[in-house]
Chains A and B, each alone.
Chain A
């Protein structure tokens, strides 16, 4: 039960994107098409889960003073692997979002979880935390991507959903809409939280 709670924690209560509002660069940038969001979630989850496991398994040998550089090297190694893997298997999508995959290495979520969770907890718990955080990140960016691609292009992951006569709102797949959709989503969430607190009183 407690283990399930670790996973659930990343999905909603301390969702890295919506609640903690960190690591936003890739969230806004890659959500114009579902394909891009899927590849980004893969790269992100790969790096996050494996770095948390490695950091947690070597945590007893890491000297306290130089822990951040060590985290960075571990994360950078896995980012390189993820970038090479995506380049090999999904070259077209990789070319579109190459910069953001490389920049997973400075994603605040990953270094934050390594420092705040993996460095203090056991391997299995860190694995669960990594899975929970990855799901939390992935569902948000895929949800934003579905909204943007559906309205901006009338498709979801390339499949036509809207009828042929639908006039796509082009702005939704252009860069500014990333900010707009995220703003509405964050506003809705904070509004919900505030309303619940007001009800309690």
Chain B
């Protein structure tokens, strides 16, 4: 029972309290770059959720079955994780193209972008730093990805409205996106302390 509540805690913490974009600032490139288009944000959200969970599972195995037993973790962790995630993304791309062309069409353009998204690598490092077990790692990955999805939807929705409003010249373009995210982050500060 305590294990289950622990899982719930990890889920809420990774999705809301330590929201990956608004509190930890990972994955900002796609967050600022893609959110001026609602459907692109949704596509990116699906693709990131999918790859994050896969990457978390695979890197957990590499970390615990290869790197730690052979005492390679401090030296080879970065190199092996980035290469694994890069090849995983290409593999997923090939598989989706063959097996489910519709899904591939929906997130095809965003998949290659993900390989260099710092969010995915960030999650795998966080999992390894906090020494989570396999189930916890998966829950953390799902929570983080959903948190990313949520933040993307929030900003995309707001920017859709901003397009029709008259902004002062100073804030036109990207500047207003940063200010809006700053205010959203202020709101998310309210969740701090919810989880000890």
Contact = CB atoms under 8 A, between A and B. Distances in A.
Interface in B171-186: 171-179, 181-183, 185-186
Contact of B129 (A22, A72, A98, A176): A98
B83 A72 contact: yes
Contacts of A194: 169
B23 interface: yes
A99 to B, nearest CB: 6
B178 A180 contact: yes
Interface in A92-142: 98-99, 102-103, 105-108, 111
A187 interface: yes
B24 A29 contact: yes
A114 to B, nearest CB: 12
A162 interface: no
Nearest to A178: B25
B79 A73 contact: yes
Given A84-B74, A111-B116, A179-B182, A103 B175 contact: no
B188 to A, nearest CB: 8
Interface of A is mostly: helix
B170 interface: yes
Given A179-B182, A187-B175, A190-B172, A24 B79 contact: no
Interface in A1-59: 21-26, 28-29
Interface in B153-179: 169-179
Given A183-B178, A191-B170, A175 B189 contact: yes
Interface in A62-81: 69, 72-73, 76-77, 79-80
Interface in A137-171: 171
Interface of B is mostly: helix
A25 B126 CA distance: 15
Interface residues of A, number: 43
A175 B185 contact: yes
Contacts of A83: 78
B121 A106 contact: yes
A179 B126 CA distance: 22
Contacts of B23: 175
A171 B9 CA distance: 26
Chain B: interface size category: 35 or more
A76 B84 CA distance: 13
Interface string B54-80: 000000000000000000001111110
Interface stretch (B26-34, B37-45, B141-149): B26-34
Contact of B125 (A84, A102, A111, A174): A102
A25 B25 contact: yes
Contacts of B76: 80
Contact of B78 (A102, A111, A174, A188): A102
B59 to A, nearest CB: 13
Given A179-B179, A190-B175, 8 more contacts: A29-B24, A105-B82, A106-B121, A176-B186, A179-B185, A180-B182, A191-B169, A194-B169
Interface of A: 21-26, 28-29, 69, 72-73, 76-77, 79-80, 83-84, 98-99, 102-103, 105-108, 111, 171, 174-180, 182-184, 186-188, 190-191, 194
